[in-house]
Structure 1
Amino acid sequence: MDIRLAVPEDAEAVAALRRIVFPYLVMKPELVSYALTTRTPEEHREAWVATEDGEVVGWGSGGSNTWTSDEGVSMIDVYVHPGYRRRGLGTELARIAQDHLVAAGMKKIRAFATEAAVEFATRQGFEPTRLVHYSGADPRVLPEMPPTPADLEIVSIATVTAEQAYRADVVAGADEPGDSPNDAVAFEQWVKDVWDAPGLDKELSAAVMAGDEIASFTAVERDGDRVWSGMTGTIPAYRGRGLAKLVKSVALRRAAEAGVVGAFTSNDDVNGPMLAVNEWLGYRRVATHTGLTRTL
């Protein structure tokens, strides 16, 4: 076994490993490479791979949360191929990532764990804080399309500007459940993390427009015949009109027409409105992760 820094050339192997470990997550190889080559000093982001005979069998990463005003908040992500577990790889990858964050001056670490990994995470000093549910649906089988209000228009995200999308994302995400508020993301950071990221499919992503303002939107990330709902949000002034249900219905239909057969998403356990929307659309739960934090 060998643990080394991850490089862009690992992207295909890392994406394949992630699909084995988390078949309900969607991450194309180009996004792995992009993340490894566009890091900024402020992110304190680093990643490592565990290999055996040249095969990538484990991943570990750590970096700061650049979207929050909470000082010193960071994140780690660790997973190991099922055939290589209980050999200490996860423990070592977690140690390396946490040591890196401590050296960077971080004060708190956030992580997510599957049901089987919660005990492992608590042994690392993490405490459970929340639950996040993952669901999947077939976009070719959907309920009847909701009507579009006469005063609104549905467009592809490809037709809006980055500035319009940023404003909507920031406003709609301000009260999103989480361990830290999403209240301090700069436009340049958002463009790098979201708008320019190769996973975002702007043609499949959809928005409900009220004049020049985005009232509701859903961001779709695609990898082949699978898509992921990266974020669906409605700005407060337009909530209560069923726009999230409408915009996701449009995006999923477009995805099915483009050959997508699997759609996946996640929702915080306390986000009742979006859980109800996704259940109406046909999403069914496939996994639950526990959110955990550790104070350094």
Structure 2
Amino acid sequence: MQIRPAVAGDAEEVARLRRETYSYKVLSADAARHMITVQSPGERFLALVAESEGRLVGWGSAGLNVWTSEPGQGNISIYVHPEQRLQGIGGALSDRLHEHLQEIGAVRVSTATQPSGLDFAKRRGYDGTRQLHFSGIDPRVLPDLPATPEGIELKRIDELQPEQVYAADAISSLDEPGDSPLDAVGYQEWLDEVWNAPGRNPELGVAAMAGEEVAAFTVLSRDGDRAWTGMTGSIPAYRGRGLAKLVKSVCLRRAAEAGITGAFTANDDENGPMLAINNWLGYKRIATEHGLLRTL
């Protein structure tokens, strides 16, 4: 078994590993390549892969959160193929990545793990802070479409200028549950890592427009017949009008028309309004992960 830095040519194998390890986390090969090759310099991002007999069996990455005003906030992600666990791969990745985090000045590190990984994380100094619920739906089977409120027009995300979507994303992210506030999202970083990310399907994303302002929106990324909705948001001035429910309902219908048969998402345990929307749509819980923190 060899641990080495990830390179763009690993993208197909990384996507395969992710799919076989977490069936409910959608990552296309193009999106994996983008994740490996495109980051803000301030992240000091390090991605590693564990390779055995020419096949990737583990992934690890770590860096600094540059989307928060709190300095020294790091994050780490480690996963090992289910058939290759308990062989020291996760521990070797953890040692390398925590050394990197200390070198780049991280003072606190966040991660998430399935229940089976809790003991592994706790032995390395992590403790629980919250829960993340993953759920899925067949977008071909949905409740009736909600009515569009007066004064609201629905548009595809690809009909908008990126500045319009960025403004709504930055505002709606301010109260997104998490261990650090998302209050320092730079436009150029957002453009590189979100708007221009491959695998994102702006023709399927939906925005509820109040004039030229994005009042609510949802975006979608796909990998074949599976899709991931990573962000559905509405700005505070337009909340309470059912716009998040509306845009997600329309987005899922467009996904079904595009041949998607499984749509997945994740919600923090504290995000009651979004959990209620997903329950109404018919999402079924697949897995729960524990959000964890460690002070270095």
TM-score range, shorter chain: over 0.9
Quote the residue 1:177 is aligned against: 177
Partners in 2 of 1:34 and 1:270 — Cα distance?
Answer: 30
Quote the residue 1:232 is aligned against: 232
- The answer on whether the counterparts of 2:39 and 2:193 sit within 8 Å (CA) in structure 1 is no
Q: 1:74-113, CA deviations, whole angstroms, 9 ceiling, x for partnerless residues?
A: 1111000111100110011011111111111111111000
What does residue range 159-198 of structure 1 map to in structure 2 within 5 Å?
Answer: 159-198=159-198
Matched, 1:62 2:58: no
Report the secondary structure of 1:173's partner residue.
helix
> Shift of the alpha carbon at 1:40?
3.5
> Aligned partner of 1:46: which letter?
L
Quote the residue 2:277 is aligned against: 277
> Aligned partner of 2:159: which letter?
T
Moved more, 159-168 or 34-43: 34-43
Q: 1:101-141, CA deviations, whole angstroms, 9 ceiling, x for partnerless residues?
A: 11111111110000110111111111110001000000000
Report the secondary structure of 1:168's partner residue.
helix
What does residue range 45-84 of structure 1 map to in structure 2 within 5 Å?
Answer: 45-84=45-84
Quote the residue 1:132 is aligned against: 132
Partners in 2 of 1:37 and 1:266 — Cα distance?
Answer: 25
What does residue range 1-296 of structure 1 map to in structure 2 within 5 Å?
Answer: 1-296=1-296
Report the secondary structure of 2:27's partner residue.
coil
Partners in 2 of 1:32 and 1:43 — Cα distance?
Answer: 17
Partners in 1 of 2:159 and 2:229 — Cα distance?
Answer: 19
Partners in 2 of 1:199 and 1:177 — Cα distance?
Answer: 25
Using the size of structure 2 for normalisation, the TM-score is 0.99
Partners in 2 of 1:39 and 1:270 — Cα distance?
Answer: 29
> Aligned partner of 2:269: which letter?
D
Distance 1:173 1:40, change over 3 A: closer
Report the secondary structure of 2:174's partner residue.
coil
Q: 1:161-197, CA deviations, whole angstroms, 9 ceiling, x for partnerless residues?
A: 1100000001111101000000001100111111011
Q: 1:19-61, CA deviations, whole angstroms, 9 ceiling, x for partnerless residues?
A: 1110000011111111222233211001111111110000111
Report the secondary structure of 1:248's partner residue.
helix
> Aligned partner of 2:293: which letter?
T
> Aligned partner of 1:90: which letter?
G
**Is there any run of 5+ residues in structure 1 with no aligned partner, and where?**
none
> Shift of the alpha carbon at 1:13?
0.4
> Aligned partner of 1:57: which letter?
V
Report the secondary structure of 2:9's partner residue.
helix
Report the secondary structure of 1:174's partner residue.
helix
- The answer on whether the counterparts of 2:38 and 2:193 sit within 8 Å (CA) in structure 1 is no
RMSD of aligned Cα (Å): 0.7
Partners in 1 of 2:161 and 2:207 — Cα distance?
Answer: 12
Report the secondary structure of 1:125's partner residue.
coil
Partners in 1 of 2:107 and 2:61 — Cα distance?
Answer: 17
> Shift of the alpha carbon at 1:4?
0.7
> Aligned partner of 2:164: which letter?
Q
Report the secondary structure of 1:69's partner residue.
coil
> Shift of the alpha carbon at 1:199?
2.4
Partners in 2 of 1:201 and 1:123 — Cα distance?
Answer: 40
**Is there any run of 5+ residues in structure 2 with no aligned partner, and where?**
none
> Aligned partner of 1:282: which letter?
G
Partners in 2 of 1:39 and 1:159 — Cα distance?
Answer: 26
Aligned-pair identity (%)? 53
Distance 1:40 1:244, change over 3 A: closer
Partners in 1 of 2:249 and 2:38 — Cα distance?
Answer: 33
Partners in 1 of 2:132 and 2:91 — Cα distance?
Answer: 23
